[in-house]
Structure 1
C-alpha cells in the first residue's frame, strides 16, 4: 500500500529520530523528498556523506523502502530486497 500524503519523515514506518536526522543531513526532509529520490537514492546519499561508515542494508535501504510502501522492513519480499541490493552494488 502506497500512501500519497506528504508526511514528515518521523511519521513514516521504520523511520526513527536517528534515520530521520541522517536523511535531513542529505536534504531529505519529508515523505515527498524520500519518494523523489527513492530508497536506493537515499541510501546512496547517506553513503556518500559517510563513506567510511558501514550502512546495514536492513537499517537504511530496507527501512527506506518500507517507509515508502508502509511495510516493516522485514516484510519486504526477498525478491524486492535482492533488487534493491543489486541497485546499490
Structure 2
C-alpha cells in the first residue's frame, strides 16, 4: 500500500507529516516501525504529536483501530510515550 492517507487510522495530516520525516509509503512505515516513526514525528513536530498518534501508527501496522489495541501492546506503547514525554 503506497497511500499512507488511505491506511487505517492515518488521515491526510498524519500522512503529510510522515512524508515530512521521510516516510513516503506504507511499506516504508512498516520498515521503520511505529515507535521509530513516532519518535521522528515528535522530533520534528514536538508534543503536538501525542500518544494517540503512536497508537494510530501501531494500529495501522497491526490492522486494527487504534482504540482497540491489544492491552499488552498498549502498555508497551504507553511506556514509550512516557519516556518521550520525560525527555521533552
TM-score of the pair, normalised by structure 1: 0.83
Paired with 2:55 and 2:11, the residues of 1 have a C-alpha distance of 14
Of 33, 46, 50, which aligns to 1:38?
A: 33
2:78 matched residue in structure 1: 85
Give 1 or 2: higher helix fraction.
Answer: 2
Of 18, 23, 30, which aligns to 1:23?
A: 18
Larger relative contact order, structure 1 or 2 (CA cutoff 8 Å, min sep 6): 1
Question: How big is each residue's C-alpha offset from its partner over 1:22-68, in whole Å with a ceiling of 9 and x where there is no partner?
Answer: 101001111111011111001000111123x332211x100001110
Give the number of equivalent residue pairs.
82
TM-score of the pair, normalised by structure 2: 0.84
Unaligned runs of 5+ residues in structure 2 are: 84-88
RMSD after superposition: 1.3
> Could you tell me how far 1:71 is from its partner in structure 2?
0.5
Paired with 2:11 and 2:17, the residues of 1 have a C-alpha distance of 10
Of 59, 74, 77, which aligns to 2:67?
A: 74
